Every structure is written in structure tokens, then in C-alpha cells.
Amino acid sequence: MKKNRRKIKRKINFINLTIILILFTICTFLVPKMVSTAKYVYNVIHEHYLLSKDFYFSSDKLSLNHTEYEITNNWSGAETYIITVNMSSKENDMAFTDADIEYNITYTCSSNIQCSLSKQSSTIVGKKNNGVNEDYFSISINPAGGTALSEGETAWVEITATSTSPYSQTISGKLILEVGTSEISYEIIDAPNQPYLTVNITNSQSVSSNITLSYDPEVVLLDMTNRFYLNEQSTYSEEELNNYKYLNSITSRVDSLSTTTVKFYKVDSTQDYSYTSMSQGEPAILLTH
């Protein structure tokens, strides 16, 4: 009888151990998904709560759900490459945050590059203080150890921006760069409902080059505070619209092994004029050299 009890007990222990192992296996697969789902649900609820408070904290390259942003064939892998990250505290021209939003910035990058931020904290000035509800920061990227990256090699930067006042919210993104072969290349960075766009021009040649940007002033307007325009060697052409003269092209010098950013304001902010070397169709701003 005692022997039978020991056998039954061992059998029960074996069954319990089996159940525990099965439950552990199930949890191993389900818990990460449950955590991910719970995090997503929390973000959605938290975002709706903040929107009810007219709190808008957004970016052209960062998001609540961790955006991946690819930049291809636009870096030689040798010179300093600068990425501008635009920040905003408005949803559109009718919905914006009155208060100033203070936020902090952190980053990590792949081992084949060295990175540095233009600033680690900043403020998006709100309408209450006569602000434009916009701000920006930049991240400079250089090859690690001074050794140029090879054609086709990729590098990445993870960026996180966290608002600290008046509410807390975190947006993040991963910027992925692929080394290309083009000696002069450019991209247009834009998003719907953003009042402006930026043109990044990269000169991977060993000599400086004159670059011409041509555009329709009924579509975009050049920011005349930009150093690309203020360069004493720059030239431009104009056309007349409704009895006013508008610039429709500008030519300026871009130094060798460098990246220059040029800002344009959109006539219709709802449009998205994003463009890369992989895009189809005619760009809103045409580069020639």
C-alpha cells in the first residue's frame, strides 16, 4: 500500500511539473506580446487623454510607436552628416498647445559611427507666449575612429524625446543611414500638415560645387533666413505672380564632403512633398549642378 502511495505521489509530482513547464512555455511566448499590447493600449489611452487637454507633442521623425526612418544613398560615409529633427506642439493650424513644452533628448547609435546632439533639452514655445509651436534639434554623425564606411554599409541612431512640462510623453524613432554612391545627392523631408519642409543636400565630392534648387513659388517659398540664401556667392531668378516678384530658383555653393539643409515653407501645409532618390515622380524642388 505504501509503495502504491509513493508511485501515485511521484506520478502527481510529475504531472504538476509537466503542467508548470507547459505554463512556463506558454508564458514565454505570450507575456512579451501581452506586455507589448498593454504598452500600445496605454499609449493610445494616454494620447487621447493628452489630446483632450490640447497637448500636442510630435515630430517629423519620431512617434509614439517608435518610427523607423530610412535615409538611403545620401551619405558618402566619410564626411559629417547632419540630420535635423523637427518638433511641433500643434496638430494643424487650428489645434495647438498654448503652453510651452519642455523636453529632453537622448540617443544611442551603432558602433560604426560617432554621434552628437546640438542640444540635450529644449522648449517648444506655445501660442500663449506668441510662439509658432515649432522647434528643432540636429544630430551630427561621423564615421567612428575616422574610418570611412563602405558603400552599402548601414548605420543607425535611436533618438528619444520626452516632454517634462506641462505633461509627460515620450516619442522615439530609429534613423537608418545607408552609404550610397552618388556624388551629389539630396532628399526632401516633409510630412502632411507640417508648415515647412527641409531639403538636405550632400556633396560627397572632394571639391565644392554650385547647386541650383528650382521650384514653383505657388507650391513652396524659400526661407530667406537660411545661410544657403545668405551666402554672398548665391544667385537667384524670379518670376512675377499677382504683381509681386517671387524667387523660383537659387544657386549657392555647397562645400566638399558636407551636408547643407535648406528650409522651404509650403503654400498648402496639408501636402506631403517627401522625396528621396528612390521616389517616383517629379520632386517639388529640383536639384541640378
Which of the 8 DSSP states describes residue 193? T
Query: CB of 211 within 8 A of CB of 201?
Result: yes
Please tell me the total count of domains within the chain. Answer: 3
Residue 47 and residue 79 in one domain: no
Q: What is the pLDDT of residues 63-97, one digit of tens each?
A: 988 888 887 766 778 888 888 898 999 887 778 89
The residue among 270, 33, 75, 275 whose CA lies nearest residue 184 is 75
Residue 194 and residue 256 in one domain: yes
The pLDDT confidence band at residue 264, using thresholds 50, 70 and 90, is very high
Residue 190 and residue 102 in one domain: no
The pLDDT confidence band at residue 106, using thresholds 50, 70 and 90, is very high
Alpha helices in 75-225 (DSSP H): none
Q: Give whole-number Cα distances, 89 to 15, 20, 98, 171, 261, in Å.
A: 58, 50, 9, 13, 22
The residue-averaged pLDDT of 188-194 equals 89
Q: What is the pLDDT of residues 40-72, one digit of tens each?
A: 555 555 555 555 567 999 998 999 888 888 877
From 140, 166, 181, the end of a domain falls on: 181
Rounded Cα distance, 223 and 1, in Å: 94
Q: How many CA atoms lie within 13 A of 131 on its CB side?
A: 19
Residue 171 and residue 192 in one domain: no
Rounded Cα distance, 72 and 279, in Å: 11
Residue 25 and residue 66 in one domain: no
From 181, 205, 231, the end of a domain falls on: 181
Residue 226 and residue 158 in one domain: no
Q: What is the pLDDT of residues 7-38, one digit of tens each?
A: 444 544 445 545 555 655 655 555 554 444 55
pLDDT reported for residue 154: 93
- The CATH number of the domain holding residue 134 is 2.60.40.10
Residue 262 and residue 214 in one domain: yes
Residue 39 and residue 3 in one domain: yes
Domain of 251, in residue numbers:
182-289
Query: CB of 264 within 8 A of CB of 221?
Result: yes
C-alpha cell at 175: 534613423
Residue 83 and residue 100 in one domain: yes
Residue 20 and residue 108 in one domain: no
From 151, 181, 211, the end of a domain falls on: 181
The pLDDT confidence band at residue 169, using thresholds 50, 70 and 90, is very high
Residue 188 and residue 177 in one domain: no
Residue 133 and residue 212 in one domain: no
DSSP 210-233: EEEEEE-TTTEEE-TTSHHHH-TT
- The CATH number of the domain holding residue 253 is 2.60.40
